[in-house]
Structure 1
Amino acid sequence: MAYQVLARKWRPLNFAQLVGQEHVIKALANAFANGRLHHAYLLTGTRGVGKTTIARIMAKALNCETGVTAEPCGVCSACTQIDAGRFVDLLEIDAASNTGIDNIREVLDNAQYAPTVGRFKVYIIDEVHMLSKSAFNAMLKTLEEPPGHVKFILATTDPQKMPITVLSRCLQFSLRQMTPQQVSGHLQNVLHAEQIPFEAGALPVLGHAANGSMRDALSLLDQAIAYGAGQVEEAGVRAMLGAVDQSYLFEILAALVAKDGPALMTAAAGIAERGLSYEAALHELAHLLHQVAVAQAVPGALADDLPQRAQILAVAGALAPEDSQLYYQIALHGRRDLPLAPDEYAGFTMTLLRMLAFAPAEPGQLKAQPAGDASPRPVAPAIVSPPAPQAVAPAPVAAVPVQAPVARPPAVQPAEPAPWEDAAPVAVATVVDLPPPQAVTPPRTPEVAEPDIPPVVEEVVVAAAPAEFDGDWRALVAQLKLGAAGMLAQHAELVDHQPDRFALRVAEAHKAVATRDYQDKLRGALSEHFGRPIQVDVALGEATGDTPAAIALREKQARQQAAEATIQNDPFVQALVRDLGATVLPDSIRPL
């Protein structure tokens, strides 16, 4: 027997086998059960959602030998002939091939005759929007008041092209696109029935690629079975579709979280080595960022059977919501601009670098320089800027800025030059606010004789030489450039530490970031930081909320609550609310 493709072999034969169209099934089943039969039905929806299939099931429900029923028997002569396409009172017309008025006039002339063997004469007109204007006008009267033994079932993918006069004469049902979960669930049932081995991770990929069409999903499944030589593997399906392996996407997001440019370029190079499409990579990255944003805003909306659910939740906890929104927008613009780039690799990497460059700074990351700051760079402008030129004239100020230009006691001259941090305040005070020498000399002597050199020296030493671990795991993670291992460190709780060993605990919800690969990368970063081999032991268990990610989230929520309280208690805002009926939108408040 010749092979029959899955899309035809697994076409539903009754309402119970339909997937994803419950709103249509319920209305039709109730109508058939109560005998409320309309003379014309219009089924609309995109390709592959079941328009023709539902029309044939309706024909069986109308002509089943057991009577008009919502559950045709499927074994009587009428049901079997309709399934085989041989029922004489069921006429399927392709309006794309029969668009003229002559074709429709022939149909209407035959409609007046009684059915040959069935209870009703059923006309299924597919892609009805392709009919010409004259053909529509010719069928209006018959469509409105057909003979009692005639039923019209029209199907179209574009109802906007149909005349309103035709739409008003039909009972219209809009068929929905299938969700990826519905598609993958049906594919799983098909594979079980066909006894074909498969990997569970391959089905969501096929469900996503089908774009809501069950027929397309079954056709892709046929192709995947052929590609895998009788089995369906996730790697084979991704290679067949040209999709990007999700692990590379998580590497990219981990590098963005850690602000690690080299790791970002390494992940991009990994995609190039696999020969995958960069346009598809940006598409998948935008899709993943959408899932991350959903997990951040409405965690319950994320499907429980999503293969990468744990990893998506881990990224959602490590990435700020505003960052995910920004990255999503940049990914969309990068995909749009990809044809304009010198080549796809350049367009893809520039999109990633744009994400890295435009990431919002965390509070306190950019330190503002006050007017009297003692940093080395503002010293020269502070000396030159005063308007009085006579105060800048003395040569000692320009030659040795760390020495007092005037009115210094003799004890100051042999002193060693002070560091730049100590010179700036003295120079500014001398130039801007210079009183008579005898009035200034007494208070200045102790300032110069007792400079704050030791604290400055100690601070420089601490920054230059690596210190031993003091037990502050969050501060240590902030110092390290961990790249992909940053998600493991952010979601890990320090349980115990020794000079050469760190014991960490990760919650079950974040076990996806506690793999051996992430542990090895974290071990390497710690060993490089301390200059000696470090052992890292990671165990899964109940977290107490002391992970860096959890602490950062609590701090962010506290800042948000403080900002909302400040706005709510502001007298001006209260006056607006009281006098003008204004409303404060909490979602619009952002802490500084």
Structure 2
Amino acid sequence: MAYQVLARKWRPKTFADLVGQEHVVKALRNALDKGRLHHAYLLTGTRGVGKTTIARILAKSLNCENASHGEPCGVCQSCTQIDAGRYVDLLEIDAASNTGIDNIREVLENAQYAPTAGKYKVYIIDEVHMLSKSAFNAMLKTLEEPPEHVKFILATTDPHKVPITVLSRCLQFVLRNMTSQQVADHLAHVLTVENIPFEQPALQLLGRAAMGSMRDALSLLDQAIAMGSGSVTEQDIRQMIGAVDKHYLYELLQGIVNQDGEALLRTAQDMAARAIGFDSALSELAMLLQRLALIKTVPAALADDPERDALLRFAQYLGDEQIQLYYQCAIHGKQDLSLAPDEYAGFVMTLLRMLAFAPIAAKAHAPDGVIEGTQLHAPVYQQPATPMPVVSEAQPEEPHTAPHNQPIDGDEDDTPPWQDEPETAVADNHTLENIQTAESQPAPQSDNIEPVTPDNAVEATTAEPLLTEPSQPETQSVSEIVSHNTATPIQTASIQETRTPEPENNLIEADNEPPYIAETEPEPDNYSDADDSDEYAPQQPSEIPLPAALTNSEESEEPEDTEEHAFIPLPEFAPENWAGISKRLAPKLGAAQMLTQHAAWTRYDAENHLMILALTDEARATTNKDRLEKVRSTLADAYGITLKLQTEPWRDDAGWETPTMRHKRLQQEGRRQAQDLLEADPAAQQILSLFEAEWLPETLELTDSQE
């Protein structure tokens, strides 16, 4: 007897033999068991997931003489003839070869006749999306109202090409790709029954190479058996599918851990000499890093992994941040291969990127430590102002981190580190005076701008190139740092508070501002002036107005007190007060406030009580009669007058100004004024020079500006 390939030999013949697709099998079994059968089924999915197989099993179940709970018996005449491909009432059509209307018309003409041997005539149309438009139109009527003895089972890999009129007439099932573990387990079962020796890692490689297709996996298994001369080994599989040998991956990982660029380059050259695909190499490296992250987080997840010991050994030398960083480098490097001059250059650059980023994720640094090369000044010893108890390194409950230890461009935590210490104040007028005073003092007495040293003492080699005063010691003990930081809380807070503002928070705050601002009415968009917050009420107001970007971001989140507005009179009913009026009445206007924000009050006829609004293009896009009536009635009720409302087209040369335009104009003027004040302030200039920063104009705002 001729050899039969595994993909055909192990094709499932019952629903119980199927691997995966439980969601489809359950629905079909219940429908067959309860007799709730649809006249047309559409099976969609990628290649090799079981579309045609399920269609044949369903055809057997429909015509089986001894079906039990939707399962075909497999031994009756109908089942055996369907398996042999000789059943007269089952017609399989390959739409890729029979695309014309003549082929479909012949099928439809025979559909009206009763079945010869079974209960139903079953038509299986594979790759149905290949039919022509005329063929689809010809079968629409029959597909919508077929004879009771006819069942259509359509299968396609591209349902988007099937007309929507056909989709609406079918009961659609989407078949999913199988996981690599499901494929590997089924291959192990096949090899065990076939009595063929195999290695489990080889099946894992085949499962990943099949990409969810069981037919592809069985075809690869046939090839692997032939290549291994009756056995399946990992080495043969790697050579067959072009997978990277594990020792290359571990050599690369070892070179990254050791920061050994020469070793990485040698390994890359060896891989290039053996024609190993660098695309697959980066994929395998990313998979290895994923397993490393998994074993560090959930050690029991890889309890049965044969490489568990090697993974645990590498996990001891790599931190969680390093693994995540290297994983990102690997997957982004794979995407960049197509943009590189050649794959080898792209692969080497990815490895060099891992080396370049490694110091930032070095495991030897504490979470609040200073990374080598990021210090602004060398550690300088300073005598504590008052005697304080010595805090040893064994007391981590009260860490005191100098402000320079934090990133310049903003902390990850929105709450400043000094928020919980009552003796630490935010930057105010006294803080700026401290910085100005320090500017005029001699250098040895400059205590307010404090050099940074982390809680864990920095090595002398790190600070040595940055020393500017040879008489000062290179390192500083933890007790000295803690004592000094505790003795000077105000100076520490002053530098930390006035550091370069966080771009992200400032941008979000600017975006959330409403188009205009009133003096007394609460904001409907959760906006509030910083002046309304009483968090720092005990402090004296600053002589130099600070930009809002330097104030605590939490102030803007506090809602204003709305109870006082009931006792504050409305602005005079006049065109010059239009911005304040629209702002005060915004909560009552609701959605109609969009109209008032983009409209200018041009004239008012007191005798006829006629109010004329000029509408911009933005206002006209959101204007209707209901909103105009809402504006009129709200104004009339608020001022107790009879009011008529009329609109006119917008004219750019008329000099009109909407509340939105007014707000933008005042905002720009305030930003320019704030920037002028900051540029004239010596303390602010000292901060810019110290951090090599610059102000973001769009984040500046005068805290005492009133609109």
- Indicate whether the TM-score tops 0.5: yes
TM score, norm. by length of structure 1:
0.62
Aligned counterpart for 1:425 among listed residues 460, 469, 476:
469
1:557-568 pair list within 5 angstroms: none
8 Å contact from structure 2 (residues 224, 240) kept in 1: yes
Cα deviations across residues 83-109 of structure 1 (Å, max 9, x unaligned)? 111101000001111111111111111
8 Å contact from structure 2 (residues 30, 69) kept in 1: no
* Change over 3 Å in CA distance of 1:368–1:57 after alignment to 2: closer
Please state if 1:85 is matched with 2:91: no
Letter in 2 for 1:356: L
The answer for the alignment partner of 2:679 in structure 1 is: none
Aligned residues with identical type, % of pairs: 65
Structure 2 CA distance, aligned partners of 1:220 and 1:372?
A: 62
The answer for the alignment partner of 1:107 in structure 2 is: 107
Structure 1 CA distance, aligned partners of 2:373 and 2:65?
A: 83
Structure 2 CA distance, aligned partners of 1:422 and 1:321?
A: 31
- Tell me the CA shift for residue 283 of structure 1: 2.4
8 Å contact from structure 2 (residues 88, 117) kept in 1: yes
* Change over 3 Å in CA distance of 1:167–1:313 after alignment to 2: farther
The answer for the alignment partner of 2:158 in structure 1 is: 158
The answer for the alignment partner of 1:63 in structure 2 is: 63
The answer for the alignment partner of 1:279 in structure 2 is: 279
Structure 2 CA distance, aligned partners of 1:69 and 1:574?
A: 64
1:24-423 pair list within 5 angstroms: 24-67=24-67, 69-295=69-295, 302=301, 306-312=305-311, 314-316=313-315, 318-339=317-338, 341-359=340-358, 360-362=360-362, 363-369=369-375, 371=377
SS at match of 1:197: coil
8 Å contact from structure 2 (residues 378, 467) kept in 1: no
SS at match of 1:348: helix
Letter in 2 for 1:227: M
8 Å contact from structure 2 (residues 129, 156) kept in 1: yes
Letter in 1 for 2:322: D
* Change over 3 Å in CA distance of 1:113–1:250 after alignment to 2: same
- Tell me the CA shift for residue 199 of structure 1: 1.2
Cα deviations across residues 505-548 of structure 1 (Å, max 9, x unaligned)? xxxxxxxxxxxxxxxxxxxxxxxxxxxxxxxxxxxxxxxxxxxx
8 Å contact from structure 1 (residues 202, 237) kept in 2: yes
SS at match of 1:319: coil
SS at match of 1:80: helix
SS at match of 1:201: helix
Q: Which has the higher helix share?
A: 1
- Tell me the CA shift for residue 288 of structure 1: 2.7
Structure 1 CA distance, aligned partners of 2:35 and 2:468?
A: 95
Cα deviations across residues 135-173 of structure 1 (Å, max 9, x unaligned)? 111111111111010000011111111111111111111
Structure 1 CA distance, aligned partners of 2:160 and 2:214?
A: 23
* Change over 3 Å in CA distance of 1:41–1:307 after alignment to 2: farther
RMSD: 3.3
- Tell me the CA shift for residue 308 of structure 1: 3.5
* Change over 3 Å in CA distance of 1:59–1:307 after alignment to 2: farther
Structure 2 CA distance, aligned partners of 1:315 and 1:259?
A: 14
| Unaligned residue ranges in structure 2 (runs of 5+) | 363-368, 382-438, 440-463, 475-550, 561-707
8 Å contact from structure 1 (residues 372, 425) kept in 2: no
8 Å contact from structure 2 (residues 122, 152) kept in 1: yes
Structure 1 CA distance, aligned partners of 2:467 and 2:196?
A: 80
SS at match of 1:92: strand
8 Å contact from structure 1 (residues 64, 78) kept in 2: yes
Cα deviations across residues 52-76 of structure 1 (Å, max 9, x unaligned)? 0000000110001125751111011
8 Å contact from structure 2 (residues 67, 73) kept in 1: no
The answer for the alignment partner of 2:492 in structure 1 is: none
Letter in 2 for 1:80: T
Structure 2 CA distance, aligned partners of 1:281 and 1:324?
A: 17
8 Å contact from structure 1 (residues 41, 170) kept in 2: yes
SS at match of 1:47: coil
- Tell me the CA shift for residue 361 of structure 1: 4.6
Structure 1 CA distance, aligned partners of 2:361 and 2:222?
A: 49
TM score, norm. by length of structure 2:
0.52
Structure 1 CA distance, aligned partners of 2:465 and 2:310?
A: 47
SS at match of 1:358: helix
* Change over 3 Å in CA distance of 1:142–1:293 after alignment to 2: farther
- Tell me the CA shift for residue 305 of structure 1: 5.0
8 Å contact from structure 1 (residues 62, 69) kept in 2: no
8 Å contact from structure 1 (residues 73, 79) kept in 2: yes
Letter in 2 for 1:15: F
The answer for the alignment partner of 2:22 in structure 1 is: 22
Structure 2 CA distance, aligned partners of 1:354 and 1:422?
A: 27
Structure 1 CA distance, aligned partners of 2:356 and 2:326?
A: 11
* Change over 3 Å in CA distance of 1:421–1:97 after alignment to 2: closer
SS at match of 1:38: coil
Structure 2 CA distance, aligned partners of 1:370 and 1:339?
A: 40
SS at match of 1:56: helix
Cα deviations across residues 149-200 of structure 1 (Å, max 9, x unaligned)? 0000011111111111111111111111010100000000000111111111
Structure 1 CA distance, aligned partners of 2:212 and 2:143?
A: 31
* Change over 3 Å in CA distance of 1:576–1:354 after alignment to 2: same
- Tell me the CA shift for residue 34 of structure 1: 1.0
1:1-20 pair list within 5 angstroms: 1-20=1-20
8 Å contact from structure 2 (residues 295, 302) kept in 1: no
* Change over 3 Å in CA distance of 1:307–1:114 after alignment to 2: farther
* Change over 3 Å in CA distance of 1:42–1:371 after alignment to 2: closer
1:491-510 pair list within 5 angstroms: none
Letter in 1 for 2:271: I
Letter in 2 for 1:266: R
8 Å contact from structure 2 (residues 377, 466) kept in 1: no
SS at match of 2:469: helix
* Change over 3 Å in CA distance of 1:88–1:421 after alignment to 2: closer
Structure 1 CA distance, aligned partners of 2:165 and 2:274?
A: 55
- Tell me the CA shift for residue 128 of structure 1: 0.7
* Change over 3 Å in CA distance of 1:125–1:334 after alignment to 2: same
8 Å contact from structure 1 (residues 61, 69) kept in 2: no
SS at match of 2:346: helix
SS at match of 2:217: helix
* Change over 3 Å in CA distance of 1:163–1:365 after alignment to 2: same
* Change over 3 Å in CA distance of 1:100–1:308 after alignment to 2: farther
